[in-house]
Amino acid sequence: MRATDKYLKTLLSYYEEEIEGEAYFYGLVDHFEQQEKLTVLARVERRAAESVVPLLEKYELVPRDESELKTRGEGYVGRHASLDWFEFMTYIVNRYPGYLEDFTTLERMAPEE
C-alpha cells in the first residue's frame, strides 16, 4: 500500500504543528511560574517533531520555514496567557487527549512497511 495524499498532508501538518507547539510553550514561560514544566512540554513537542523527520525525508515532504512556524506558535500564546495555572491545566487536560486520538488516526493511515 502506498502513502495516500491525505496521509502525507496530515503527516506534514502534524510536524508543523509540533514546531508551533514548541514555540507556544516557550512563549508561555513568561506568563506562568511553572517555567520548568512548560519547558518540558516544549521539549516534548520538539521531540515529537524530530521523530517525524525521517518520514518527511522519506516522502520528500518540505515543511514551511521553521521561523514561520515559530511565529505562528507564538501567536497562540495570547489565547492562554491570562489564565491562571489551574485554568491552563484544565484546558490541557480537556484538549490534549484529542491529539493522541489524532496521532492514532495518522498511524492507521500510514502505509504498511
User: pLDDT for 74-100, tens place per residue?
Assistant: 999 999 999 999 999 999 999 989 888
- Check: CB of residue 11 under 8 Å from CB of residue 102: no
Spatial CA neighbour of 33 closest among 73, 86, 76, 85: 85
Instruction: Round to whole Å and give the CA distance between 88 and 12.
Output: 27
Mean per-residue pLDDT of the chain: 95
Sign of torsion over alpha carbons 37, 78, 92, 90: positive
How many C-beta neighbours within 10 Å does residue 40 have?
12
Domain boundaries, the chain: 5-108
Of 12-26, 40-54, 99-113, the one with minimum mean pLDDT is 99-113
